[in-house]
Chain A
Amino acid sequence: MASKLQKTAADALAGVLFDGMTIMAGGFGLCGIPENLIAAIRAAGVKDLTVVSNNCGVDDFGLGILLAGGQIRKMISSYVGENKLFAELYLSGQLELEFNPQGTLAERIRAGGAGIPAFFTKTGVGTLVAEGKEVREFDGELYVMERGLTADLSIVKAYRGDHEGNLVYRRTARNFNPMMATAGKVTIAEVEELCVTGQLDKDNIHTPGIYVDRIFKGAVFEKRIEQRTVRKPEEVSSLGKVGA
């Protein structure tokens, strides 16, 4: 078997990219985004992309740089409020947009990766989201049918990974990454720490290596923070008595 191990983001993307493809990108806001792969896709210049991601980065970081490069034709997201360019492109008709409720988006991706073509959910019944979709009654309640979602390529970010492609995420940087890893025809993972096989605790692998086709250690992790909120050390808590 050929090694999954790659040296750089550009190496990992070799032969994978094509115009008009669908790419899933992990992350919530700027937390847990595959920033090295996004930068390499920007450099590769591939265009007419459909991008599936909860958000679209900010104007100069994350997926926002693909927007700025005119590479995205359509976004499938739940929230894009942090991005001014996004609003401009959308309102002027240069960008297609499909809003999915966040839980529906997560479940569509999970279902896609698990070989489930469609499912029914209460979320969105009686709203714009349900328009044109089958609505069915189960046990006296209405549910809307949503389709499973897959992609030509999934790009994910993990904290640690090994040569087999086993991945471990850290804290809330997990978010959409595990489901997206299962739903790409090709899945590429960038990690902060590349471990030798056997080093990770086998009982605590979040994404088993079967889902990961290529893996590399990211060259740079800026890990930018969107809302830096702090309390002073003497305050017990500025979010309140939570846990105190």
Chain B
Amino acid sequence: MAWTRDQMAARAATELRDGFYVNLGIGIPTLVANYIPTGMQVTLQSENGMLGMGPFPTEDEIDADLINAGKQTITELASSSYFSSADSFAMIRGGHIDLSILGAMQVAANGDLANWMVPGKMVKGMGGAMDLVAGVKRVVVVMEHSEKSGAPKLLTACTLPLTGQKVVDLVVTELGVFSVDRGKSPLTLLELAPDVTLDEIRARTGAPFEVAKAAA
């Protein structure tokens, strides 16, 4: 059985380490915050200018001046700090953030990532994604394995405009987990979701991959 969104988030959360400063993207990556192991200290960065992001507020705590990068209302912690967007991206670009977990439209075998634009269709913008993948030490993608049409999202080469070249280290989908050797090919399949077969994941993956012993 394929993993649920929450199970994918829980798997991505095993990439967290004590003391990490982490930036979580919108969607499934946000759920990763629910699976930080007890006793582990992880500081969440929000690129609009905050370190130490707290939980959503109660109705009484809502503050229009306190939002995350997804424009959701949030709260602060005793350890929180606020800063400008320039300072925020100095942290990101300067390599001070340990881990970025974000969504993707396509990932290539060499670690190329596309997640911001569909030509002629989507006019939204890249936000902070290009800065995050260029500057953060380790980049984990959490995404659906295939498009709604069934087309694979793990490819030999991305067909959509890139967010970054050779930037992805690990990909978690509902079918399994792949590691990426940046700039090289193939991928390595590290884990399969329960009851997902090698044949099934092979049929739905558009990129070459080897199979790690643990997944074989």
Question: Which residues from chain A sit less than 8 Å from chain B, CB to CB?
Answer: 28-32, 54, 77-82, 86-87, 90-91, 97, 99, 101-107, 109-110, 121-129, 159, 169-179, 206, 223-233, 236-244
Contacts and interface: CB of A to CB of B under 8 A. Distances in A.
Contact of B165 (A30, A97, A126, A226): A126
B55 A29 contact: no
A174 B82 contact: yes
- Please name the 3 residue pairs, one residue from A and one from B, whose CB atoms are nearest each other, closest first: A103-B89, A237-B55, A103-B131
Contacts of A229: 56-57, 72-74
Contacts of B84: 106, 174-179, 206
A172 B48 contact: yes
A224 B78 CA distance: 26
B165 to A, nearest CB: 4
A241 B34 contact: yes
A110 B48 contact: no
Given A79-B127, A228-B73, A171 B63 contact: yes
A223 to B, nearest CB: 4
Interface string B39-59: 000101011111011111111
Nearest to B66: A171
A243 B64 contact: no
A29 B135 contact: no
B77 interface: yes
A225, A238, A239: residue with the most chain B Cβ atoms closer than 10 Å: A239
Contact of A242 (B54, B57, B93): B54
Contacts of B135: 103, 122-123
B17 to A, nearest CB: 16
Nearest to B133: A123
A239 B34 contact: yes
B95 to A, nearest CB: 10
Interface stretch (B98-106, B146-154, B156-164, B187-195): B156-164
B161 A127 contact: yes
A102 B55 contact: no
A47 to B, nearest CB: 22
A124 B130 CA distance: 6
Chain B interface extent, by class: 35 or more
Contacts of A239: 30, 33-34, 53-56, 74
Contacts of B77: 242-243
A224 B68 CA distance: 15
B125 to A, nearest CB: 4
B49 A227 contact: no
A242 B62 contact: no
B129 to A, nearest CB: 8
A80 B46 contact: no
Given A78-B125, A241-B38, A243-B54, A127 B130 contact: yes
A178 B130 CA distance: 22
A79 B89 contact: no
Given A99-B125, A110-B86, A240-B36, 20 more contacts: A28-B67, A29-B71, A101-B128, A101-B129, A102-B47, A103-B130, A106-B85, A121-B134, A122-B134, A128-B117, A171-B63, A172-B68, A226-B71, A227-B70, A227-B71, A238-B55, A241-B38, A242-B42, A242-B44, A243-B54
Given A81-B124, A170-B65, A128 B58 contact: no
Contacts of A223: 64-65
B126 interface: yes
A198 B67 CA distance: 30
A91 B58 contact: no
A31, A32, A102: residue with the most chain B Cβ atoms closer than 10 Å: A102
A233 to B, nearest CB: 5
A240 B50 contact: no
A230 B58 contact: yes
A106 B127 contact: no
Contacts of A129: 126, 130
B85 A179 contact: yes
Given A127-B161, A127-B164, A242-B54, A106 B130 contact: no
Contact of B131 (A97, A104, A179, A224): A104
A123 B82 contact: no
